[in-house]
Amino acid sequence: MRIVLLGSGRGSNAEAILQAQAAGRLGRGQVVQILSDQPAAGILELGSRFGVPARFVDPAPFKTKLEGEGEDRWIAAIRACEPDLVVLAGFMRVLKPGFLGAFAGKIINLHPSLLPSFPGLDGIGQAWRRGVKVTGCTVHRVTAEVDGGPILDQLAVRVEPDDTFASLAAKIHAAEHVLLPAVIARLSETGA
C-alpha cells in the first residue's frame, strides 16, 4: 500500500508512522512521499532521516484551503506518487471537491478530539475550555464535510484533575502516535 503523508507542522505523527514502518508495524504500508504546504515545516526534515522523498508544494494563492492553481499543483504532485492512501497528518488546509474527487476513498485524517465533538481548528483547546472529562483523538475518512467523514477509529484520553492544557495536549499527542499507525496498518491488511 503506497502512502503519501501530508503535513503542515512539526510532523510528530508522520514520525510515528515512519518509526512504525521501520519496526515492521505498518502492515503492508510503505511511505513513498512526504509533502508539506509550509517550506520550513519540521515534517520535511523526516525525509532525510528515514530515506523518504520530502518536499514543499506551493499551495498559493489561498491561505487556509487548497483551490485553484495550488490545488492543481497538489493533485499533480500526489498523482505522480500513485498512492493507495493519502494521510493527512497535521495538514491544516480545507480540501475542495477537485482534490477530494482526485483521490476519492483514499484520504484519511487525524483529528485531536473525539469527533463529532470539537471539529475544526484547535480541537484540544476547544475540549479543554469546555471542561470535558474525556477527550482523545480520531482517524476518519475525509469527505467534503470538514472533520465529518466516517470514523475509522478513536482513542480516549481522560482529563485528570491535575492536568494542565499542556499535559492534556501531550497525552492526546501520545495517543495519536499509537492510533494513526495502527489504523494505517489495519487498512493495509483489511482495507477497512
Question: Cβ 47 to ligand GAR, closest distance in Å?
Answer: 14
176 counts as binding ligand GAR under rule CB under 6 A = yes
- Residue 12 near ligand GAR by CB under 6 A: yes
Residue 191's CB is within 10 A of a number of other CB atoms, namely 8
Task: Answer yes or no whether residue 179 interacts with ligand GAR by CB under 6 A.
Answer: no
> Does position 90 bind ligand GAR by CB under 6 A?
yes
Applying CB under 6 A, among 4, 13, 20, 83 the residue interacting with ligand GAR is: 13
Can you tell me which of 93, 106, 111, 140 binds ligand GAR, judged by CB under 6 A?
A: 111
Is there binding between residue 115 and ligand GAR (CB under 6 A)? Answer: no
As a whole number of angstroms, the distance between CA 108 and CA 87 comes to 5
C-alpha to C-alpha distance for 61 and 105, rounded to whole angstroms:
26
Residue 20, strand partner residues: none
Which of 112, 136, 175, 187 touches ligand GAR by CB under 6 A?
Answer: 112
Cell of 102: 482526485
What phi and psi values does residue 145 have, to the nearest 5 degrees? Answer: -80, 120
Shortest reach from residue 10's CB to ligand GAR, in Å: 4
10 binds ligand GAR (CB under 6 A): yes
Annotated active-site residue 111? The verdict is yes
Determine the residue type at 143.
T
Q: How far is the CB of 110 from ligand GAR (least distance, A)?
A: 5
What's the min distance (Å) between Cβ of 153 and ligand GAR?
14
Residues assigned a catalytic role:
111
Q: Which parts of this chain interact with ligand GAR (CB under 6 A)?
A: 7, 9-13, 89-90, 110-112, 123, 173, 176
